[in-house]
Structure 1
Amino acid sequence: MKVVLVAVNSKYIHSNLAVKYLKAYTSDMDYECTNMEFSINDREERVVEEIIGEKPDMVGFSCYIWNIEFIKKVATLVKLINPSIEVFYGGPETSFNPEEFLTNNVGEYVLEGEGEETYREFIEEKLKGNNNDEKENYAEIKGLFTKIQGKIQYGGKRPLMDMNKIVFPYDEADDLSNKIVYYEASRGCPFNCKYCLSSTTHGVRFLDINRVLKELQFFIDKKVKLVKFVDRTFNCNKKFANTIWQYLVNNGGESCFHFEVSADLFSKDSLEILKQAPKGMFQFEVGVQTTNNVILNNINRNIKFATIKEKVLELNELDNIKQHLDLIAGLPGEDFDSFRKSFNEVYEISPEELQLGFLKLLKGSQMREESEKWGMVYSPYPPYEILRTKDISYDELQVLKKIEHMVDKYLNSGKFYKILEFFKRSDRFEDSFEFYLELSKFYDAKGYFKRNISNVDYYSIFVEFNRFINAGDEELLLDIIRYEYFCFNNTKWVPDFLRLDLEKEEERNLKEKVMEEYNLRNINKISIFKFKYDIKEFIENAEIHKRDNYIVFFIDGRKEKLFIRESK
């Protein structure tokens, strides 16, 4: 018997932990199991062709809000091509109302909730030789919904499993390069946020700590670039989290580790450990959602923004951990002005990344059950995103969508920090929100939202925008753009609007000086650029001094830069 487990990820660099778990949990059984991973950007026809090419007896799909429509089409095509292939589904998008899903879609089975033990028992029954017309034994399997002659049978609720029974889903043969590697040290969440499905499962279960450390060492030895913990609130158990962080500080090597954390749970012990970490080793994702304490109460988040802010600022002081903060638009009771206030208060904390999300009313969530109370109108199609509420209109949400695009491109990319700082200093804007609002309006007026923007355009647009708002200081802005462009792009080609030519003798003298000082032999490895303002002073101290200076970029394994204050 051959089973193909199919994952359709939102991006190529992502991977699916669920299908890996199912395969690993049944690796000792006498059947053939293949994992196939695609992205929603793949053509449906190609995905179907590859699945059919495996000649499976059964195909299982891992279903989420971002891929369910794609999967339904693929499953339908698979069944049309070969009706003898059985189809089963699992994942959060099919676990809320499996009976309805099976009734309205092709396929024979749905695995509800945690799938490892249900899947193993299911495969055991399959291997006993039951054929498609004799499914009564499958109907006794807890957590399994089975379609028998058009009727749905259910084996009953399956208790949550012992976390330590999970089989580590990676091995030495896996190519983990250029992928985000997902890892799970705990399941469940101690909180009860109304918009989240984690709140429907009470309690938190943890893997044995020694096992976790051993498995993390596997990633370290493999030199995995990024390990993303999928634990809903990683630091809800202080001792557990601190032990892992201390181990990684001592042994983490070159890998980076990403955690979803609750800022209010950081203790002095945690901060003492974290301050030892090399810069770039840890990334923290902090769910703020809103700074309005009334709204926080509306969604069952029993925490005040002041507490979150205090801890985030303490982490900022360590200056070695990248922080990603989240806000959600469309929360119950929150209007446009309240969201604007939340944006400004979070932006002032200076996170490296700020994500503006939009409320999604997930199947089975308490928020969906309360939608009428808050006047919530949401899309009936995945991902069930909010369209309007009694407090915020559709038009206002569209304004926030455009701001979200600006924030994601310009703040979250990490390539425009100093340009953003230039505009932040301007008295042209009442607050940070207004800057992104005006920038988004400028994009709209110029039609930039409706066409592809080149990499160079993302920089040159700031010059246009600066003229559009009549902010002045264009020479300084050009120097700052020049600096950030050269830091993140090929320095061998300079866009015309950034070109500031050097005299040949001036350039030659500088290059000879640099080559002698750094013992370089290849002059082609050096690029020298002239600035009208002391760019080093602005970058490091935010001070503005107009005087000729230079930056030398040279390649020696990695891009480096050398500041030179020397007039001709």
Structure 2
Amino acid sequence: MKVVLVAVNSKYIHSNLAVRYLKAYTKDLDYNCHTMEFSINDREERIVEEILYEKPNIIGFSCYIWNIEFVKKVSTLIKLIDSNIEIIYGGPETSYNPIEFLTENIGEYLIEGEGEDTYRELINFKINIEVNGDNNNCENIKGLYYKSKEGIIYGGNRPLMDMNNIVFPYEAEDDLKNKIVYYEASRGCPFNCKYCLSSTTHGVRFLNIDRVLKELQYFIDKKVKLVKFVDRTFNCNKTFANAIWSYLIENGENTCFHFEVSADLFSSESINILSKAPSGMFQFEVGVQTTNNEILRNINRTIEFSTIKEKVLELNKLKNIKQHLDLIAGLPGEDFNSFRKSFNEVYEISPEELQLGFLKLLKGSQMREESEKWGMVYSPYPPYEILKTKNISYDELIILKKIEHMVDKYLNSGKFYTILNFFKKSNKFKDIFEFYYELSKFYDGKGYFRRSIASVDYYSLFVEFNDFIKAGEKELLLDIIRYEYFSYNNTKWIPDFLRIEMSKAEERNIKEYIMNKNSIDNINKISVFKFNHSIQSFIECGEIKKTLNYIAFINNPIKERIFIQESELKVQ
């Protein structure tokens, strides 16, 4: 018997824990199990072809809001080609309306909730049929729904499993290069947020700490670039979190680790441990959702924004941890102006990334049950995103979506900080929200939301935008754009609007000066550009200083920048 477990990920670089868990949990059983991972950007026909090439008897699909429609199409095509292949569904998108889902779709089985034990018992059942010719049905398998002549049969609720029974899902031969690798050290969440499915189960279960440290060493030895913990609130057990952070600081080398954390749970001991982390080793995702304490209470969150702010600023002072803060638009009771206030307050604490999400009314969530109370209208199609509420209109949510695009492109990419500061320091906007709002309107007016644009257009747009709103001195802005552009793009090609002429002799003189002073052995690694303002002064203290200077960009892995004042060259 051959089973193919299929994951359709949202991006190619993602990996899927679920199918790996199921395979690992049954690796001692006498059957052939193969996992396959695709992305929603693949063609359905290609996926069908590759799956059927494996000649499976059974196919299992891992189902989420981002892939469920894709999975249903692939399943239908497979059944049309070979009706003898049996199909198993599992995952959060099928666990909260299993009878309806199995009734309306092709396929024989659906696994509810945690799948490891249910899947193992189902495979054992299938092996027994194959080996012994048993004719029994599988009605006693807890957590399983299946089709029979009598209709959909349910084996009953399955208790949550002991976390330490889970089998580590990665193997020595796995190629994890250039992948975002997912890992969980705990399941469950101590909080009860109405919009989250984690609130439907109570309590948090942890892996044995010694086992966790051993498994994390596997990723370090594999030189994985990014390990993303899927734990809902990683630091809810401070002793557990501190032990893991301490180990990674001591042994983590070049791997980056991403955690979802609750800022209010950071103790002074945790901050002290984290202060010793190498820069870039840790990324924290902090769910703020809103700074309006009344709205927080509406979603069962007891933490106040003042506490989050205090801890985020404390971590900011360490200057070694990247922080990603989340807001959610469309929360119960929150209007446009309240969201605007939240945006401004979160932006002011300077997160490296600010994510504007939009409320999704997931199947099985308390928020979906309360939707009428708050006048919520949401899409009936995955991902069930909010369309409007009695407090915020559809048109206002569209405005926020366009602002979200601007924030994601310009703030979250990390390539436009100095340009953004230029506009933030101007007196043209009453708050930072207004800046992003006006930028999104200008961007929309250019037609950029409706078509792809070249990377250089993302920079040149600011010149036109500044000409339109008169936020600051154009020549200073051009210098700042020049600096940002060459910090993150090819320095061999210069867009016309960023050119400042420099003689060959002048350029060579500066390059030789840099080589002598910085022990650089190859002149071709150096690119030099002339500036009319001191970018260094603007970055370090916000000072606008008009003076001739140069910046050299060294084409090495970190793209080093060297600032040279004209006075230095005269002293030479």
**Cα distance change, pair 86–532 in 1 and its aligned pair in 2 (3 A):** same
Helix, strand or coil: the match of 2:146? strand
Query: Residue 89 of structure 2 corresponds to which residue in structure 1?
Result: 89
Query: Residue 437 of structure 2 corresponds to which residue in structure 1?
Result: 437
Helix, strand or coil: the match of 1:128? helix
Alignment deviations for residues 139-172 of structure 1 (CA, whole Å, 9 cap, x no partner): 2100000101261001000000000000001111
Specify the code of the residue in structure 2 equivalent to 1:394.
Y
Looking at structure 2, the residues matched to 88 and 519 of structure 1 have their Cα atoms a distance apart, in angstroms, of: 62
Alignment deviations for residues 332-359 of structure 1 (CA, whole Å, 9 cap, x no partner): 0000000000000000010000000000
Looking at structure 1, the residues matched to 82 and 160 of structure 2 have their Cα atoms a distance apart, in angstroms, of: 35
Given that residues 135 and 148 in structure 1 are in contact (C-alpha distance below 8 angstroms), is that contact kept between their aligned partners in structure 2?
no
Alignment deviations for residues 154-199 of structure 1 (CA, whole Å, 9 cap, x no partner): 1000000000000001111001110000000000000000000000
Query: Residue 528 of structure 2 corresponds to which residue in structure 1?
Result: 528
Query: Residue 382 of structure 2 corresponds to which residue in structure 1?
Result: 382
- C-alpha deviation, 1:70, in angstroms: 0.3
Alignment deviations for residues 414-447 of structure 1 (CA, whole Å, 9 cap, x no partner): 0000100000001100101000000000011111
- C-alpha deviation, 1:566, in angstroms: 1.1
2:296 is equivalent to residue 296 of structure 1: yes
Given that residues 281 and 321 in structure 1 are in contact (C-alpha distance below 8 angstroms), is that contact kept between their aligned partners in structure 2?
yes
Looking at structure 2, the residues matched to 83 and 134 of structure 1 have their Cα atoms a distance apart, in angstroms, of: 22
Query: Residue 305 of structure 2 corresponds to which residue in structure 1?
Result: 305
Looking at structure 2, the residues matched to 520 and 277 of structure 1 have their Cα atoms a distance apart, in angstroms, of: 30
Helix, strand or coil: the match of 1:37? strand
Query: Residue 141 of structure 1 corresponds to which residue in structure 2?
Result: 141
Query: Residue 218 of structure 1 corresponds to which residue in structure 2?
Result: 218
Given that residues 103 and 150 in structure 1 are in contact (C-alpha distance below 8 angstroms), is that contact kept between their aligned partners in structure 2?
no
2:488 is equivalent to residue 501 of structure 1: no
2:476 is equivalent to residue 481 of structure 1: no
Looking at structure 1, the residues matched to 81 and 150 of structure 2 have their Cα atoms a distance apart, in angstroms, of: 21
- C-alpha deviation, 1:413, in angstroms: 0.3
Given that residues 423 and 472 in structure 2 are in contact (C-alpha distance below 8 angstroms), is that contact kept between their aligned partners in structure 1?
no
Specify the code of the residue in structure 2 equivalent to 1:24.
A
Helix, strand or coil: the match of 1:354? strand
Helix, strand or coil: the match of 1:60? strand
Query: Residue 415 of structure 1 corresponds to which residue in structure 2?
Result: 415
- C-alpha deviation, 1:561, in angstroms: 1.5
Looking at structure 2, the residues matched to 515 and 288 of structure 1 have their Cα atoms a distance apart, in angstroms, of: 47
Query: Residue 538 of structure 1 corresponds to which residue in structure 2?
Result: 538
Query: Residue 372 of structure 2 corresponds to which residue in structure 1?
Result: 372
- C-alpha deviation, 1:536, in angstroms: 1.1
- C-alpha deviation, 1:516, in angstroms: 2.3
**Structure 1 residues 75-474: aligned runs within 5 Å:** 75-129=75-129, 136-149=136-149, 151-474=151-474
- C-alpha deviation, 1:76, in angstroms: 0.4
- C-alpha deviation, 1:136, in angstroms: 4.8
- C-alpha deviation, 1:505, in angstroms: 2.2
**Cα distance change, pair 136–333 in 1 and its aligned pair in 2 (3 A):** farther
Helix, strand or coil: the match of 1:138? coil
Looking at structure 2, the residues matched to 130 and 225 of structure 1 have their Cα atoms a distance apart, in angstroms, of: 43
Looking at structure 2, the residues matched to 500 and 139 of structure 1 have their Cα atoms a distance apart, in angstroms, of: 77
Given that residues 128 and 134 in structure 2 are in contact (C-alpha distance below 8 angstroms), is that contact kept between their aligned partners in structure 1?
no
**Cα distance change, pair 53–502 in 1 and its aligned pair in 2 (3 A):** same
Specify the code of the residue in structure 2 equivalent to 1:110.
L
Looking at structure 2, the residues matched to 511 and 473 of structure 1 have their Cα atoms a distance apart, in angstroms, of: 30
Given that residues 459 and 485 in structure 1 are in contact (C-alpha distance below 8 angstroms), is that contact kept between their aligned partners in structure 2?
yes
Helix, strand or coil: the match of 1:103? helix
TM-score when normalising by structure 2: 0.98
Looking at structure 2, the residues matched to 115 and 370 of structure 1 have their Cα atoms a distance apart, in angstroms, of: 29
Looking at structure 2, the residues matched to 93 and 223 of structure 1 have their Cα atoms a distance apart, in angstroms, of: 33
Helix, strand or coil: the match of 1:174? coil
Specify the code of the residue in structure 2 equivalent to 1:351.
P
Specify the code of the residue in structure 2 equivalent to 1:314.
E
Helix, strand or coil: the match of 1:550? strand
Helix, strand or coil: the match of 2:440? helix
**Cα distance change, pair 556–344 in 1 and its aligned pair in 2 (3 A):** closer
Looking at structure 1, the residues matched to 559 and 127 of structure 2 have their Cα atoms a distance apart, in angstroms, of: 57
Given that residues 263 and 312 in structure 2 are in contact (C-alpha distance below 8 angstroms), is that contact kept between their aligned partners in structure 1?
yes
2:24 is equivalent to residue 24 of structure 1: yes
Looking at structure 1, the residues matched to 529 and 491 of structure 2 have their Cα atoms a distance apart, in angstroms, of: 9
Looking at structure 2, the residues matched to 130 and 376 of structure 1 have their Cα atoms a distance apart, in angstroms, of: 51
- C-alpha deviation, 1:519, in angstroms: 3.7
Given that residues 298 and 332 in structure 2 are in contact (C-alpha distance below 8 angstroms), is that contact kept between their aligned partners in structure 1?
yes
Looking at structure 1, the residues matched to 42 and 18 of structure 2 have their Cα atoms a distance apart, in angstroms, of: 20
5+ long unaligned stretches in structure 2 = none
**Cα distance change, pair 508–335 in 1 and its aligned pair in 2 (3 A):** same
Alignment deviations for residues 75-127 of structure 1 (CA, whole Å, 9 cap, x no partner): 00000000000001000000001111000000000000000000000000000
Given that residues 59 and 87 in structure 1 are in contact (C-alpha distance below 8 angstroms), is that contact kept between their aligned partners in structure 2?
yes
Given that residues 129 and 135 in structure 2 are in contact (C-alpha distance below 8 angstroms), is that contact kept between their aligned partners in structure 1?
no
Percent identity reads: 75
Given that residues 21 and 167 in structure 1 are in contact (C-alpha distance below 8 angstroms), is that contact kept between their aligned partners in structure 2?
yes
Specify the code of the residue in structure 2 equivalent to 1:142.
K
Looking at structure 2, the residues matched to 305 and 351 of structure 1 have their Cα atoms a distance apart, in angstroms, of: 14
Looking at structure 2, the residues matched to 524 and 305 of structure 1 have their Cα atoms a distance apart, in angstroms, of: 51
TM-score when normalising by structure 1: 0.98
Looking at structure 1, the residues matched to 445 and 150 of structure 2 have their Cα atoms a distance apart, in angstroms, of: 55
- C-alpha deviation, 1:556, in angstroms: 4.2
Looking at structure 1, the residues matched to 24 and 541 of structure 2 have their Cα atoms a distance apart, in angstroms, of: 53
2:40 is equivalent to residue 40 of structure 1: yes
RMSD of the alignment, in Å? Answer: 1.3
Alignment deviations for residues 234-271 of structure 1 (CA, whole Å, 9 cap, x no partner): 00001000000111111111000000000000000000
Given that residues 403 and 440 in structure 2 are in contact (C-alpha distance below 8 angstroms), is that contact kept between their aligned partners in structure 1?
yes
Alignment deviations for residues 187-218 of structure 1 (CA, whole Å, 9 cap, x no partner): 00000000000000000000000000000111
Specify the code of the residue in structure 2 equivalent to 1:537.
S
Specify the code of the residue in structure 2 equivalent to 1:93.
E
- C-alpha deviation, 1:557, in angstroms: 4.8
Helix, strand or coil: the match of 2:543? coil
